[in-house]
Amino acid sequence: MRPALSVPDSVRQASVPPVRVESEQLGEGLYYLTGGSHHSVAVEFNDFVPW
């Protein structure tokens, strides 16, 4: 049996602020998404958007 872990109140009550995502159209069907610590590129296709 594992011992119980104690979680400090500062951790238990921590909240993460929302991340605002900005998009910039680079070309037809091509978008640069920025926000937080990671950035992405979205490419539009005729019948789907790949992940």
Per-residue pLDDT of the chain (51 residues; tens, 9 = 90+): 777 889 999 999 999 889 999 999 999 999 999 998 899 999 988 887 666
| Domain boundaries, given as residue ranges, for the chain | 20-46
Q: What is the pLDDT of residue 49?
A: 63
Report whether 32 contacts 21 (CB < 8 A).
no
pLDDT at 46: 85
Rounded to two decimals, the pTM is 0.60
